[in-house]
Structure 1
Amino acid sequence: MPDKLLILLTSCALLLMMGGCASFKPNNVNDACSVLEDEDWYEAALDSQERWGTPIHVQLAIMHQESKFQQDIRPARKWYLGFIPGFRPSNAYGYAQALEGTWDAYRNSTGNHGAKRDNFDDAIDFIGWYTYHSHKNVGISKWDARAQYLAYHEGWGGYKRKTYNSKGWLLKVADKVKAQSLNYAAQYKKCQAELESNRGWF
């Protein structure tokens, strides 16, 4: 048993050195510089921005609202009588809280069939893909975090039907996403040069 434990700890230490034993977790999810501190996350965010055209701060604001950058989060389960577990309200999962059906559409559309919802690189690319199609399908500016979030939450059909107008709580959330996006944009502007200078060190 001690030998097995030593092997496990040694393996984990090696994986940590390679960044594989634990996923990066930002120290401050409200600070874009903290979120992008990890070089792999920064590269993934840049790649998504370049591929889909949606600014980094808009993508991060959506992810912040959906998961606070937690990789394995799911919608809260309903409980009955305080102790009987019920169903979850949806099958959303991961950094982007993507639904299974929408995630499958993303994978088929991009050819990224191995994409996983609990992988940051795939999740940020998914948000870029979705916002790109929100622009293409319903004409939402890629810079408009508020409208992009409404379409992200309601779907393109729901956005066209303006279903969000009957959901006061959702409009307030969309306002929060807009404010977070503006904060991220200002923060990113201040640390962008430093983030760029740190690229490629490893």
Structure 2
Amino acid sequence: MAARPDLVCVGAFAGAHGVRGALKLRSFTEEPEAIAHYGPLYDESGERRFEIRLEGRSGKLLLARVAGIADRNAAEALKGLRLHVPREVLPPPEADEFYVVDLIGLAAELPDGGAFGTVIAVHDFGAGELLEIRTEAGRSEMIPFTAAAVPAVDRAAGRIVIDPPPGLVGGPVEKGIEKGAEDAAEEENEDEEGDET
């Protein structure tokens, strides 16, 4: 199923809690409990609908009951599923604010103004948001969405400025490929030299 562009991701199921179908829920809203105030939640296609009721917290995660989920197996099957709401139920952002989903499609530039790529996705695996950027060279790079790594977001101009830490972008992969190519070339030269004797 294709993702619906009118849906905004507000959280994700993080796994089962106990044996009676309760779920751990990671909320991406500014006030975590607000996730329960927007009405039903949906998967990214909008096909599956979830009615949730919050029951407390477990560390940084919320605990929730979901209509129709009555045992641990059913709850565990939802682990990792991202939860969305229609954009129109969310309050409009202030002039200097934005929803993270609004970053998708923006150009990514380096501090010197050089083109780097385009934001194609935003991920949150629990340790903070990551921007997935398709580079001008066609690679995918993950950039932490922090003030240091992304010092400027200019939605009106359709761009962000990225300043990733040294070695984060392209370094190890490109060096590994170059090193592998150099090793292969050396082996080929050694084989050719061996054939001449």
Q: TM-score, normalised by structure 2?
A: 0.23
- Compare CA radii of gyration and give the structure with the larger one: 2
Structure with the bigger percentage of helix: 1
Structure with the bigger percentage of strand: 2
Bigger RCO of structures 1 and 2 (CA < 8 A, at least 6 apart): 1
